[in-house]
Structures are given as C-alpha cells and as structure tokens.
Structure 1
Amino acid sequence: MGQPLAWACHPFDGFTPQALYEVLALRDRVFVVEQQSIYGDLDGLDQQALHLSGRSPEGRLLAYARLLPPGIKLDRAVAIGRVVVDASVRGTGLGRLLMQQALDAAESAWPGVEIGLSAQVNARSFYESFGFRTVSEPYDDGGILHEDMLRSAGRA
C-alpha cells in the first residue's frame, strides 16, 4: 500500500468540520451508493462514539470505523461499526489493518470488555479471523444480510 497511514482515534468533538464531512462522505459513498443500502446512517450515535480514521500521508481519508461504548448499542460490549475502506485501496490489506487498529482502540478505551459488531454475512470469515464468533441468525439490515458477532474480552 505504500507509505504508512496516520491513525487517529477521537471523540465526536475532536472532528474539524472538514474531517467530519469526509467521514460522512466516505460512509455515504460506500454504504448507501456503492452497496445500494438505503438506511439512516445518521443514527444519533456518532456523538457518543470514538472515531478511528486512517489517512494517507497527503491527508486523504482511506479507512474509518466507529466505536461505541458498552451500553449504547450493546448492553455489555463495545460495538464496532461503520467499518469502511475507500474503494481505491481495497485489496491492499488495509481492511485488516483497520480492524486491528479498531480492536486495539476498543481494548485501550474499554479494557476487559467484549467487543461486538454487526457483520455483513459475506464478511464472516474476515471477522472470524480476528476471533469473532456468530451469535445470531442472519437478518436483513438495509437490504444486506448481516449477523451479530462477538469477540471475548482480552483476546490477543
């Protein structure tokens, strides 16, 4: 992928207006336009989340994930969501790097807590490779089959 990315993880009030716009534009481009999934991306949870972003040396947003504390989306687990990589860098291993950064950030912010996510069914093996296990039947979320997955606390 070339030069390493600059990673940042911060609360909602750490966004500049431009950075927030870039995140929302990336999420819209991938989840709504590319995947043709009509859903309410602006769900009122961004203000309670930590936001992880990976930027190129030139400052271009290439990867993003949202981390919600326990009790917001999942009762006793951190919820990782809105996991997205720009189409221009898919297939480079950036998705794996993003997921590892998200796990590290979650474990740092909420040590000893399970981590959960809602995974697209076709990405099951990707998340299983990080120690997640399926804990629900598949369900429709915005026209795409998803399943809930959990990862035990403290997994290396």
Structure 2
Amino acid sequence: MTVHISKTTDIDACLSLRLDVFVREQMVPMDEELDDLDPVSTHFLAQTEDGQNIGTARVYEQGHIGKIGRVCVAKSHRGTGLGKRLIETCLNDLRTRPHITQAKLGAQNHAISFYENLGFRVIGGEYMDGGIPHHDMVRAL
C-alpha cells in the first residue's frame, strides 16, 4: 500500500486523527489536546492511495529550535514504519529552515527508544502531559 505524506492546510483532518488517538484512545483531556499552536504550525498529513487519513504531525519554531509535536498514527497503520516516516518528514522540513539548528519533541516514555533510534536524546526529567509520562528529547539537524 502506498502512503503519501505532505504538508496540509486541512487542520480539521489532522485534529480528527489527534482526537481519535490522543483523546479517545489515550484519554488525554480535550482541553489539553487543543492549543493555540495549530495556527502557527506546519502540519503534515499521511494518506493512503484512496485518501484515508492515517497519520499526522506538526512543527513550529521556537527561536533556533524546531518543535515536533502531535505525532500520531491511526491504530490500523501502527508498526508499518509510518511514524518513522512522519518524523523524517518533519526533520527534512526543519532542515530547509537555515536558522533552525535543533529539533525538539516531547516523547511519551514508551516511545523513547523509537525516538532514540531516530537520533534524539533525552534531556531533563520526566513530566506529565495529558496525564501521560513524557521526557523532552532533542537532536541536532
């Protein structure tokens, strides 16, 4: 099955995926999932050949740091490498911005090794986000 990942302005499609994964599946409170960063972020949407939305991520800038967030993959497509492709797409986008020298994300603890395999390293201590333990992670671009 061919999957395409591209920039999108269809934030509603991204939000629909995020609500399925984060709010319904992981029980993150709705008011913690929705924030004021969507309008200032670049969004990516993964779709199947027939137009099914199956993954999303966003990036935004904080000075010289590109922040990757709201990365999710539909349950039906987990374990296919799509999460890795979404992160690589975000990193490639950030590399086109000369002033961005570092990528940063907040990783759910169970996903730390996934991000380490993509070159990220843990910084700082554990914190709770949406009721889920996280660690910040960074990598050079």
Structure 1 length-normalised TM = 0.83
> Among 95, 101, 109, which residue is 1:113 paired with?
101
Task: Provide the residue aligned with 2:36 in structure 1.
Answer: 44
Counterpart in the other structure of 2:134: 146
Which runs of structure 2 are paired with 1:39-118 in the superposition (5 Å)?
39-71=31-63, 76-110=64-98, 112-118=100-106
Mapped partners of 1:51, 1:110: distance in 2: 19
Seq. identity, %: 36
Q: Under a length normalisation based on structure 2, what TM-score does the superposition of the two structures give? A: 0.91
SS at match of 2:133: strand
Instruction: Identify if the C-alpha distance between structure 1 residues 111 and 58 changes in structure 2 by more than 3 Å, giving closer, same or farther.
Output: farther
Unaligned runs of 5+ in 2: none
Contact 1:69 1:110 in 2 (8 A): no
Pick one of 16, 22, 25 that aligns with 1:25.
16
Gaps of 5+ in 1: none
2:110 matched to which residue of 1?
122
Cα drift, residue 21 of structure 1: 2.2
Amino acid at match of 1:152: A
Give 1:111 shift.
Answer: 5.7
More strand by share: 2
Residues 1:35 and 2:26 are matched in the alignment: yes
Cα deviation, residue 101, structure 1? 1.3
Match of 1:138, SS state, is strand
Residues 73-108 of structure 1, C-alpha deviation per residue, up to 9 Å, x if partnerless? Answer: xxx311000001011111111111111111111212
> After TM superposition, which residue ranges in structure 1, 4 or more long, deviate above 3 angstroms?
109-112
Q: Contact 2:65–2:100 at 8 Å: present in 1 too?
A: no
Q: Please give the alpha-carbon distance, in whole angstroms, between the structure 2 residues aligned to 1:106 and 1:21.
A: 23
SS at match of 1:58: coil
Q: How many residues align?
A: 140
